[in-house]
Amino acid sequence: MRETVLAVEGLTVYRGTYEAVQDVSFSLEQGTDMAIVGPNGAGKSTLIQAVLGILPRQSGEVTILGQSLSRSGVLPMPVRQQIAYLPQNFLFDRRLPMTVAELVGLGWDQLGLSLPWVGGRARRLAIRQALVQVDATHLMHQPLSGLSGGETKRVLLAYCLVRPRRLLILDEAPAGLDIRNESDFYELLHALKQEQGWAILQISHDLEMVRKTCDRVLCLNRRLLCQGGPDLVLSPDNLATAYGSEFVRYRHQHSEN
C-alpha cells in the first residue's frame, strides 16, 4: 500500500468575503500525478496556496507527510524540505548577472544548507545532479538572459530538484510555452515521477495532456465536482458541468485570478 503524502479534509478558503474554495477533500499518494482542472476563477490556485500555507484557511485540515499544517501555515522544517513548489509566474530579473548554476544553487541555499560544515563540494554536486535530471547540464554556465522559454522551465524545475523531494506542487508550470515545449515539459515531468517516485499535484488547463499523463484528476469549481481517473473525470458530461459551453478540449491561456 502506497503512503499518503497529502491529505486534505473539508478545506474552505475565503478571499476577503468571497468563498473561493468550499469544503474540498482529497488525498494524494506516493508516485501519483494528480491534476486539478476547472474553469478560470474556479479556485485552483487558491486551493494549492492554502495547502502550502501561503493563504489562510477558514476551516478544514491539511496533512503533509503525516504532519498537520498549523493554522499559521507552518510545517516542521524536515517536511518543508521535502516539498517543491513552482508557481505559474516565477519572477526574476533576467538582467541579473547570474548563471543557471547560480540560480539552481539558490534552491540549496534557501533551506539553510549553505553552512560551513556542508562545504562547497556537496553543493556543486547537487546543482550538477539537478541539471542532469532535467537534461540541462549544457546550460550550467549560461547567463539567465540567454535562456529560451523551454530552457527556463527546465532550469526552474532543476531549482526545485536540487535536493530530494517527495511532493512537487506546480501551478500551471508550462504556462507560456509553445505546444512542442509544453509537451516536452510534461514528458520530462512524467519521466522524473517514474524515476523519483514523487507525488505531484499540478494545475493544468491542457485537458488532453492531463488525460495522457496524469493518474488522477480533481475537477474543481469552488467545490469539488468529481475526482478519479482521467477517463472518468474528463467525460463530456463532467466537463460540461464544470466549464459550460466551452468544455470541448478546453485550453485556456490566461492566468487564474
Q: Is 165 helix (H, G, I), strand (E, B) or coil?
A: coil
- Joined grid coordinates for residue 190: 512524467
Q: Residue 245 — very low, low, confident or very high, per pLDDT cuts 50/70/90?
A: low
**Angle, nearest 10°, between helix axes 149-161 and 179-196?**
20
The DSSP H or E segment spanning 125 is helix 120-133
Long-range contacts of 247-253, Cβ-Cβ distance < 8 Å, separation of 24 or more: 249/207, 249/208, 250/39, 250/205, 250/207, 251/205, 251/206, 251/207, 252/39, 252/40, 252/205, 253/175, 253/205
Average pLDDT, the chain: 86
Distance CA 207, CA 163 (A): 30
Sequence-ordered list of residues with C-beta below 8 angstroms from that of 9, at least 6 positions apart, any chain: 25, 60, 61, 62, 63
Distance CA 242, CA 155 (A): 34
Query: Locate cell 542532469: which residue?
Result: 132
**pLDDT tens column, 61-119:** 999 999 999 988 888 888 888 898 888 766 667 677 889 999 898 888 765 544 444 55
- Joined grid coordinates for residue 226: 468529481
Q: Is 204 helix (H, G, I), strand (E, B) or coil?
A: coil
Q: Is the pLDDT of residue 251 over 50?
A: no
How many helices (H) and strands (E) are present in the chain, helices listed first? Answer: 9, 10
Assess contact for 192 and 198: CB atoms under 8 A: yes
Q: What is the pLDDT of residue 119?
A: 53
0.95 exceeded by the pTM?
no
Q: Is the pLDDT of residue 176 over 80?
A: no
If phi > 0 it is left, if psi is from -120 to 50 it is alpha, else beta; for residue 112 that is left
Sequence-ordered list of residues with C-beta below 8 angstroms from that of 118, at least 6 positions apart, any chain: none
CATH of 1-82+167-257, one of 3.50.50.60, 1.20.1530.20, 3.40.30.10, 3.40.50.300: 3.40.50.300
Q: What is the pLDDT of residue 19?
A: 96
Residue whose C-alpha is closest to residue 92's, from 79, 102, 80, 81: 102
Read off the amino acid at residue 59.
S
Assess contact for 233 and 215: CB atoms under 8 A: no
Assess contact for 219 and 226: CB atoms under 8 A: yes
Domain with CATH 3.40.50.300 in the chain: 1-82+167-257
